[in-house]
Structure 1
Amino acid sequence: MLRRELLDTADVHDGETLELFSHGRDFMIVLGRNELMSTRMRFSEEQLADLTIARLGKDNARILIGGYGMGFTYRAAAAKLGAKAQIVVAEISDKIIEWAKGPMAELTGDALSDPRLDLRICDVAALIDDANDGTSPKFDAILLDVDNGPDGLVRDANNRLYSRTGLAKARDALMPGGILAVWSAAPDPAFRKRLHDTGLEVVEWNVRSRPNNKGAHHIIWFAQKS
């Protein structure tokens, strides 16, 4: 029987320690007893990008992705967007990118050399602030998957992204018609209400973790600016 093999650990700034495991040909990123992501369950993270871009209806969008992880959302966005698009990815841990180039290089392929990619090792909240103060252009979409849902499981500072103030900042960092999309492992009625309270038009979407309509049920909220 195959056993999980611990390949490496990553200390998140002001946060918890993540572990990278392999299990045969599969990989998992784990926090304590919580499996945050794996190559076996990737569909909902890909749908975060696919469904957001479909709702935008434009292939030259400028989007911000909070959290690289295993790159599922980023690669799905790159596959859907055109040559003039810009994909800004904020990843808090440079070790995650080292894993993408190292143990998971076969999974990553040449995705990190895409000229449309603007990869930043930073807190996604800082890039949202930049768009608000005019330091950088606003976004057509902001896709957040920096935790296991709208709470600071990995890093306490992530809670500010999901607060009323954080959601208002994300709203203001969007172009008219822009979309804030948030991935979660489970429903959260209180968070959905906070989204509504920002004045955004909110749709809650239930999606399975595997494309064959199997696996865990995950949630994606799409909050669109008028």
Structure 2
Amino acid sequence: MQHMKHSDSTATVLDRRDGPHGEVVLRRRGEHFEIIANGCFLMDTSDGRSERLLVDAALAALPADRKEPAVLIGGLGVGFSLARAVEEPRWGRIAVVEREAAVVDWHRSGPLGAYSAAALADPRAEIVHADLVTYLRAPGRGFDALCLDIDNGPDWTVTEDNGSLYSPTGLAACRDRLTPGGVLAVWSAQPSAAFEQALRNAGFAGVTTEEITVARGVPDVVHLGIRAA
């Protein structure tokens, strides 16, 4: 997710829905689209560097000889992470978990399909309509990489219940869903030394933080941790 990129154009509301987690809104500002949840700006289509690096960093952290690794992307957003994953032939199974039915609709039959339609047509890709925390804690197939981008970071969650993802039990669920040597990648609007330590406490090795340069202010980052083999 990304901070608001201000422009002079006025935003036009295209759709507004109330769901189990509050209100979600799709807006158009100039030539770009924005997703707002409970009044909090989540992301827009003006720049996808952060979302792309999230997927690229996870793949780079995996052993080069791992065949067709499976990746779970937490949060469909505007579709940049999904599109990036599909562009990479090394990925095998690509699952995107999205809890907001409205966001899924905006991609399948709405204007965000311009950014994701080709990716969703890829036979490796599937959208799972579910709450990410619930999905990770349920029994299921393992993944070689988890790329999570459902908040503005571990210290700035969109809804209060998202905070449990970054708790010891939430990180344990992430670890348990990973194959040995698998990678957890978490996007954040700012570095978090506390989250780095939480990853180590949860049993992740090789914890690192990669910076993503932005136009102004503190760089975005991707926190990385590896499940011990």
- Mark yes or no: TM-score above 0.5: yes
- Which segment drifts farther, 163-172 or 104-113? 104-113
Paired residue for 1:86, among 93, 98, 115?
93
Count of aligned positions: 216
Partner amino acid, structure 2, of 1:208: T
Match of 2:137 in 1: 129
Shift of 1:193: 1.3
Q: Is 2:5 aligned against 1:3?
A: no
5+ residue gaps, structure 1, are none
Q: Return structure 1 stretches of 4+ with deviation > 3 angstroms.
A: 31-34
Give me the whole-angstrom Cα distance separating, in 2, the residues matched to 1:173 and 1:127.
Answer: 10
Q: Which amino acid aligns with 1:181?
A: A
Is the CA contact (8 Å cut-off) linking 1:69 and 1:96 kept in structure 2? yes
* Offset, 1:59: 5.5
Q: Give the 3-state SS of the residue equivalent to 1:61 in structure 2.
A: coil
Partner in structure 1 of residue 176 of structure 2: 172
- Normalising by structure 2, we get a TM-score of 0.86
Aligned counterpart, 1:21: 27
> What is the TM-score of this pair, normalised by structure 1?
0.87
1:8 Cα deviation after fit: 1.1
User: Where do 1:112-151 residues align within 5 Å?
Assistant: 112-130=120-138, 133=139, 136-151=140-155
Q: Is the 8 A contact 1:139 1:178 kept in 2?
A: yes
Q: 1:198 and 1:11 mapped to 2: Cα distance?
A: 35
Counterpart residue type for residue 224 of structure 2: F
- Given that 2:185 and 2:223 are in contact with CA atoms closer than 8 Å, whether structure 1 keeps it comes out as yes
Q: Is the 8 A contact 1:184 1:218 kept in 2?
A: yes
Q: State whether structure 2 residue 182 is matched by structure 1 residue 183.
A: no
1:125 Cα shift? 2.1
Task: Flag structure 2 segments of 5+ consecutive residues without an equivalent.
Answer: 1-7
Between the aligned residues of both structures, percent identity stands at 34
What RMSD, in angstroms, separates the aligned Cα atoms of the two structures?
1.9
Equivalent of 2:209 in 200, 204, 215: 204
**Quick one: distance in 2 between partners of 1:162 and 1:81?**
30
The one-letter code of the counterpart of 1:68 is L
